[in-house]
Amino acid sequence: MSTPFSTFVVKVASRCNLNCDYCYMYNLEDRTYRNQPAVLTDEVARNAAGRIAAHAVAHDLGAVHFIMHGGEPLLAGKRRIARIATIVRELLALHHVQVRFSMQSNGMLIDDEWIELLADHAIRIGVSVDGPREVHDQHRLDHFGNGSFDRVIGAIERLKSHPRGPEIFSNVLAVVDTDIDPEALLEFWDEIDVVGFDLSLPHANHLHPPPAPIEAYRDWLIAFFDGWFDRNKANRHVRYFENMMRMMFGCQISTDNIGGKPVDVLVIETDGSLEPTDAFKCCFDGVTKLGANLATTALDELADNPLIEAFQKGSAGLCKTCQSCEARDICGGGYMPHRFGTDGSFDHPSVYCGALKPLVHHIHGRIKDSLPAQMQGIAA
C-alpha cells in the first residue's frame, strides 16, 4: 500500500457515560455501536498487536501511535487498560517497534489511581471540555440530563495538581460552539491554565449540515485565532492553527482533518473490526463497516477498499473545485467525512469550505504581516 498505517485508534470501550448532543458515535447517523462488544478483550488486543507489528515490520516503521478511544475509554477499567498496554507494548517490542500511547477522555472517572496507572504505562490523556459551565453543560450531559462540568473541571485540576499529572496531561479539546464569544473561551482557557487547547468542528456534511451557519464558524474561528495569536504566549498551543501555520512555512505535516497529505489512520473496534476514521459515522448508518476484521484480515489487504483508498489519497482525491483552490495544500479540502454530499459521494468541497478557506487566507495574512520585511517572501 502507498501509505502504511502508523496511527491506530483503538476502541477499548464502546459505551459512554455521557450523552453529548453532537456525538458522532451515538447521536448522529450511525447506530452500529449497538452491536459492538462493550470492551476490548485480551484476545483482540493480542490480535491487534500482532497485525500492527507485522504491518510495521513490512513497511519498516520504527514506531506507531496507539490511541485508546471509545465511547469513554476509562470505562474499560483500570485492570483492562493496564493489560492492553502491556500486551501491545511487549509484543511490539519483540519486533523492535516502539509504541506511543494516548487517549481522549471525558474526564468523568479520573482519580489518583487512574493518574498513577496511566503514568506507569506512559499513556498520555487529553480531556474534552467545551468551555464555561453554561456552554459545556448545554452539550455534554449524562444519561439523566445532568451537566458534567464540575466533574470535568475537577478532573483537570486533579491532573494538574497530582505529582505525576504533568507526565501524562497537557491539553484539552473543545467542540466549536459559535454561541460562545471567542474571547470568553480564551478567558476560560486562561482560567483552567493548560498548555494545549485544541478545537474540533462539529461533525457534519452536506446531507446533515452543521448546527450554525457556515459564516458563523468562519467568523468564530478567525476571532479565536486572532485572540490566541495576539496574546503571543509561547506556552499556549492550538494544534489546529499551528499545523496550518507549519504547512504555510513548508513543513511536511498533515492530519486526517486538514493538510491533504495521505492519511495513515486506522480504527480498530472492540470486536476487532477494521474501519476508516469514525468521523465517517456522521454520513450514514454502517458507512465504516468494511467487512474486515483483525482475525482474518492483514492490514495491507485494506489498501484495495474504495473508502480506505479514497481516504488515503489526500489532496489527490479532492474534487475539481478543491484541486484548483489556492488554499488546497493547507486545508487539504477539510475532513473527508465533511465532504459527503446529497448524491452519496465525497466528491465535494467540505461543508465547512466557506469557513476554512477564509481562515487559511486570514492566518496567512496575519503571519506575513508579523514578519520582518526581509522575511516576508518566505510566507508568500
CATH of the domain at 17: 3.20.20.70
Does residue 338 sit within a domain? Answer: no
User: 3-class SS at 179?
Assistant: coil
pLDDT, tens digit (0-9, with 9 covering 90-100), for 234-286: 999 999 999 999 989 888 877 888 877 888 999 999 999 999 988 999 999 99
C-alpha cell at 248: 504555510
**Rounded distance, CA 279 to CA 224, Å?**
24
Does residue 106 sit within a domain? Answer: yes
Q: What residue ranges in 251-326 does DSSP mark as E strands?
A: 265-268, 274-275
Domain that holds residue 251: 7-316
Q: Which residues contact 267 (CB under 8 A, 6 or more apart)?
A: 8, 9, 10, 11, 274, 275, 276, 277, 278, 288
Does residue 380 sit within a domain? Answer: no
pLDDT, tens digit (0-9, with 9 covering 90-100), for 278-292: 899 999 999 899 999
pLDDT, tens digit (0-9, with 9 covering 90-100), for 49-70: 999 999 999 999 999 999 999 9
**Rounded distance, CA 323 to CA 325, Å?**
6
- In the predicted structure, residue 8 carries a pLDDT above the cut 90: yes
Does residue 53 sit within a domain? Answer: yes
Q: What residue ranges in 334-373 does DSSP mark as E strands?
A: none
**Cα 246 to Cα 208, 231, 250, 318, 366, distances in angstroms:** 31, 19, 7, 21, 14
pLDDT at position 231: 95
Does residue 223 sit within a domain? Answer: yes
Does residue 217 sit within a domain? Answer: yes
**Rounded distance, CA 200 to CA 59, Å?**
31
**Rounded distance, CA 163 to CA 273, Å?**
38
pLDDT at position 372: 81
Percentage of residues of the chain with pLDDT beyond 70 = 98
Question: How many distinct structural domains can be found in the chain?
Answer: 1
C-alpha cell at 356: 476554512
Binned at pLDDT 50, 70 and 90, residue 377 comes out as: low
**Rounded distance, CA 189 to CA 135, Å?**
13
Does residue 163 sit within a domain? Answer: yes
pLDDT at position 47: 98
Binned at pLDDT 50, 70 and 90, residue 171 comes out as: very high
pLDDT, tens digit (0-9, with 9 covering 90-100), for 115-136: 999 999 999 999 999 999 999 9
Does residue 335 sit within a domain? Answer: no
Alpha-helical (H) ranges within 207-269 are 214-231, 239-248
pTM of the model: 0.94
C-alpha cell at 201: 468542528
φ/ψ (deg, to 5) at 84: -60, -50
Percentage of residues of the chain with pLDDT beyond 90 = 83
